[in-house]
Every structure is written in C-alpha cells, then in structure tokens.
C-alpha cells in the first residue's frame, strides 16, 4: 500500500449493486407518444432529436410556443399510502430566461411541482402539498437528474413536464416560452431513484444484482478487518454473510453510520460517511471488540457477541443468499478482508482521503488476505511474529523455513527487505521509510503489512 492517488471516481466507480425495481412510467424516452405523454394542446411539441444520457440521439426536445399552462403528462395507477419517486434527466444548458417545471401529483391530494435552472442546477419547489421532497444532482457532464418523491394519498399518479413555466425561478408565468431537453423518465416504488430502466409500451422490472464470494479461506468469524470503497445515496448492505435468517454482516451501514451485524444484532458506531460520494469505509472485529472507520474517522462499536457468524458466502452489496435484504443501491470497489483486526491507527490510515493501495486494478477488485495462494503472504501481527496463509487454509507461525520470521537484529537484505539470522526474509524491524515494491514496511511489529507476496 502507499500514499498515492486514489482511483478517480469518474473513471472507476466500481461494481453497481442494486435491488430489484420496476419502472412504471411508459415510453420513458419517447414523449412523442401522445396517448401516453399527453400534451395539453398544440402549443407544446416533442421531438426525439437530442443526444441522450447514453450518447445516442434518443432524448426529447420539449417546446412550448404559446398558450398558457402547457405541459406533457402521464397518468399512472399506483398504490395508496406508498412512497414513489419520479425522476427525469434534464440537459444542462446556459438558458436563464425560461425555467421548466416538473411534477408528480396524485390528482390533487399530494402535489410536488419543482422548477429547474438548467444552467446551474438550482431548483425551487413552487407547490408542495403532503409528504413530498425533491433533489437534483449532476448525472454527467451534460445532464442533471431530478428526483421528485411523494407519499401517495390516492391510487393515481400524474407525472409531467412544463417546458417553460416561468421567467423567474420558482414563479409561474403563463407567458413563458422555450424548450428543454428531457430523457429517461421514471416512476418507481421507493424513496430514491435507481439507475434508469428503459420502458416502451409496458412497465419493466429489473432484477436485483447478486454477487457472492465463498467464505472458506476468505474470512474468519472471531477476528478480522473488512474494507471497501462505496458510493450510495442510501445506507445499506456493503458485505454480508446473511442467509436464510442466519449469519453476520461484517460491513454495513445504519443510516449514515458504519456498523457490524454480529448475527445477534446491529452494532452501530458513531462513525458517519457522506451519502452520494465515494467513501472509504472499514470495520474490524476481535472477540467482543469492534471498530468502524470512514474518511479517517474511527469510533468503537458496541460490544460484539464474540463471533460474526460466518456462513457459506459473502454477498457484495446484497445479502449472501441473494434475497432482497437491504441492497446497497450504489457502487462498491476495492474490497479487502484481513485475517486480523487492524489497529485503530491502521484503520484510520486506510480510510483517509488521499490514501490508496498500490495493487488496486479494474472496476471491481476483491482481495482476501486469507485466499489460497501458491506463494506466501506475510503479516506482522500484534505479537510481533510473522504469520501467513500458506496456499491452503491453515495459518502457520513463522519458523524460518516454510514462511518468514521476524528479523531480530534489523538487518537489511536485498530489495529493502529485512533478513533474519538464518537468511529468511522478514518484513518487520525496518524504518517506516523503507519500501519494498512500493509498500511501506513498518518497524513497530504491529501494523498488518498486507499484500506482500514474499518470493
């Protein structure tokens, strides 16, 4: 590991883990379907002629040329007393003389009408009745994504867009005219928008994502450390062994707090991480002692029950049996598991902004320091002794023959590695500035030196 440049978020966000969702808004990319997206009059027009979120000419230019209260709207059957999220991708531009308006309503009981500044991304809620909220974020260099959330009060929803609803943000002006480019409309069950699900003449269901790794030789129940880099707009499962009502969750979130589920209950730390931003999060467990760290801030968890209850698989961003559970609904990358509980100081370092591992590669990277390997991976534990997992599942104490022992005299051998008196290579008792293959080697005998493959 080294203090290097972190993986750029725009380049490698990681593996996308989402639960199942249904887009019940029809023709999400085709506002020219007048029987679905109903225009109020001939004073509004739709044309598919703009570059969409995927780079294809698939987005809609919606134009108001006259009239007064002009819009496109779609009526959709929903369930009462249920939370729904409507979302629209809106093209960025430099126009500040007209402001489009987007809305979700349930025939007047609940109303959420929001105007958008397509230049700056500022929004103004013009009408809010009932339990509603809204949010906007930059989706990419050319589009905003607007979310409109509503707790329904009837069984009918109407979503829509007024291409030009005002000349001052937040103030309705019937005389306003102009155009806006809109793409990928959705209406889905839930309090936040998931990734876009294309629809035409009927609703479409996207199955939940399921990715698992075997626990054998990958994780220990009584001691260990888990690390991942996540980006999520909600706070859910990161790594889970939960299956059929059993098993622990070594790394998860409760609200915006990092937590461990030890098989008995959620042990929630006071460590928080920001939502909708890539965050480095980690937990450690050793008997009844647990800790959690995010962005270099570490706190203890409540006492654990002594074992985090290993089952057959580790689910990445989902429960291990692939059930709904609490899916991450976000991206995850650079997952790592250690066989011992790293010191609090080490957890702080590896979760600090600016820190990166020198061996991370690809969009998704999974490494367990327990994984079977034809070479030997050495560790420095709190006892000051080197241990390794020798290509099978057993852990061997250093004996100077099969694996490598602590250097009692601090001799420096070839390649910057220490050598002990019998000639075996070791990885301790070196000044902290000594590096081997870009990996800093510590001299305190306590920090786990992970990922050093000793020849």
Burial of 129 (0-12, 13-18, 19+ CB in 10 A): middle
Give the Cβ contact number of residue 4 at 10 Å. Answer: 13
Residues of the chain with CATH 2.60.120.260: 21-205
Q: Where are the beta strands (DSSP E) in 139-211?
A: 143-151, 156-162, 178-189, 204-206
Tell me the CA distances in angstroms from 183 to 58, 61, 90, 176, 424, one per residue in order: 8, 9, 7, 22, 63
DSSP letter for 5, please: P
Q: Structure tokens of 108?
A: 């007047």
The verdict on pTM exceeding 0.85 is no
pLDDT digits (tens, 9 = 90+) for 28-75: 999 999 999 999 999 999 999 999 999 999 999 999 999 899 999 999
* Residue that has been written with the tokens 């809010």 in this structure: 128
Mention every residue, 6+ apart, whose C-beta is less than 8 A from residue 277: 231
Determine the pLDDT at residue 424.
39
- Give the pLDDT band (50/70/90) at residue 369: low
Given the candidates 2.40.10.410, 2.60.120.200, 3.40.50.40, 3.40.1440.10, the CATH classification of the domain at 1-20+207-371 is 2.60.120.200
Cβ(24)–Cβ(6) below 8 Å = no
User: Is pLDDT above 80 for 223?
Assistant: yes
Distance CA 417, CA 429 (A): 10
The predicted model gives 340-364 an average pLDDT of: 79
Q: What percent of the chain is modeled with pLDDT above 90?
A: 58
The predicted model gives 201-230 an average pLDDT of: 93
- Give the pLDDT band (50/70/90) at residue 256: confident
Q: Where are the beta strands (DSSP E) in 190-277?
A: 204-206, 212-214, 223-232, 239-240, 249-254, 257-261, 266-272
User: Is pLDDT above 80 for 259?
Assistant: yes
The predicted model gives 161-185 an average pLDDT of: 97
DSSP of 274-343: -TTS-EEEEEEEETTEEEEEETTEEEEPSPP-S-----SEEEESS-TT---SS---EEEEEEEEESS---
The domain covering 21-205 belongs, at the CATH homologous superfamily level, to Galactose-binding domain-like (2.60.120.260)
pLDDT digits (tens, 9 = 90+) for 401-422: 222 223 333 333 333 333 333 4
- Give the pLDDT band (50/70/90) at residue 452: very low
Determine the pLDDT at residue 11.
56
The predicted model gives 300-320 an average pLDDT of: 93
Determine the pLDDT at residue 302.
94
Determine the pLDDT at residue 244.
85
- Of 224, 265, 261, give the one whose Cα is nearest residue 240: 261
Residues of the chain with CATH 2.60.120.200: 1-20+207-371
- Of 51, 71, 68, give the one whose Cα is nearest residue 115: 71
Determine the pLDDT at residue 441.
38
168 SS3 class: strand
321-354 burial, b if ≥16 CB within 10 A, otherwise e? bbbebbbbbbbbbbbbbbbbbbbeebbbbbbbee
Cβ(331)–Cβ(230) below 8 Å = yes
Determine the pLDDT at residue 367.
72
pLDDT digits (tens, 9 = 90+) for 98-140: 999 999 999 778 999 999 999 999 999 999 999 999 999 999 9
Mean pLDDT across the chain: 80
In 17-114, alpha helices (H): none
């Amino acid at each position: 590991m080294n203090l290097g440049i972190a993986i750029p978020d725009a380049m490698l966000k990681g593996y996308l883990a989402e639960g199942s969702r249904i887009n019940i808004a029809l023709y999400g990319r085709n506002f020219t379907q007048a029987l679905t997206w109903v225009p109020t009059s001939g004073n509004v027009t739709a044309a598919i002629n703009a570059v969409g979120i995927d780079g294809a000419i698939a987005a809609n230019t919606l134009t108001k040329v006259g009239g007064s209260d002009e819009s496109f709207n779609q009526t959709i059957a929903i369930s009462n007393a249920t939370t729904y999220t409507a979302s629209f991708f809106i093209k960025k531009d430099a126009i500040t003389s007209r402001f489009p308006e987007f809305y979700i309503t349930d025939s007047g009981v609940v109303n959420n009408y929001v105007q958008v500044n397509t230049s700056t991304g500022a929004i103004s809620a013009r009408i809010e009745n009932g339990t509603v909220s809204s949010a906007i974020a930059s989706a990419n260099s050319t589009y905003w994504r607007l979310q409109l959330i509503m707790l329904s009060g009837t069984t009918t929803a109407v979503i829509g867009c007024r291409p030009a609803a005002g000349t001052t943000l937040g103030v309705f002006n019937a005389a306003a005219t102009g155009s806006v480019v809109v793409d990928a409309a959705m209406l889905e069950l839930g309090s936040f928008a998931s990734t876009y699900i294309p629809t035409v003449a009927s609703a479409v269901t996207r199955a939940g994502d399921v990715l698992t790794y075997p626990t054998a030789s990958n994780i220990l129940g009584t001691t260990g450390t888990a690390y991942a880099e996540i980006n999520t707009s909600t706070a859910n499962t990161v790594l889970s062994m939960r299956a059929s009502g059993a098993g622990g969750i070594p790394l998860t979130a409760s609200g915006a707090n990092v937590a461990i589920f030890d098989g008995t209950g959620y042990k929630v730390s006071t460590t928080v991480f920001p939502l909708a931003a890539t965050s480095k999060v980690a937990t450690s467990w050793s008997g009844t002692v647990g800790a959690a760290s995010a962005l270099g801030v570490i706190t203890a968890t409540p006492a654990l029950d002594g074992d985090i209850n290993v089952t057959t698989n580790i689910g990445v961003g989902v429960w291990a049996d692939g059930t709904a559970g609490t899916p991450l609904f976000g991206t995850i990358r650079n997952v790592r598991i250690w066989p011992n509980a790293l010191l609090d100081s080490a957890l702080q370092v590896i979760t600090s902004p600016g820190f990166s591992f020198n061996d991370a590669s690809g969009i998704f990277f999974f490494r367990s320091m327990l994984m079977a390997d034809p070479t030997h991976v050495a560790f420095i534990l709190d006892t000051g002794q080197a241990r390794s997992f020798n290509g099978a599942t057993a852990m061997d104490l250093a004996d100077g023959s099969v694996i490598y022992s602590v250097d009692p005299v601090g001799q420096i051998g070839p390649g910057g590695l220490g050598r002990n008196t019998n000639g075996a290579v070791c990885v301790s008792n070196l000044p902290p500035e000594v590096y081997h293959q870009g990996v800093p080697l510590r001299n305190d005998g306590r920090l786990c030196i992970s990922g050093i493959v000793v020849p």
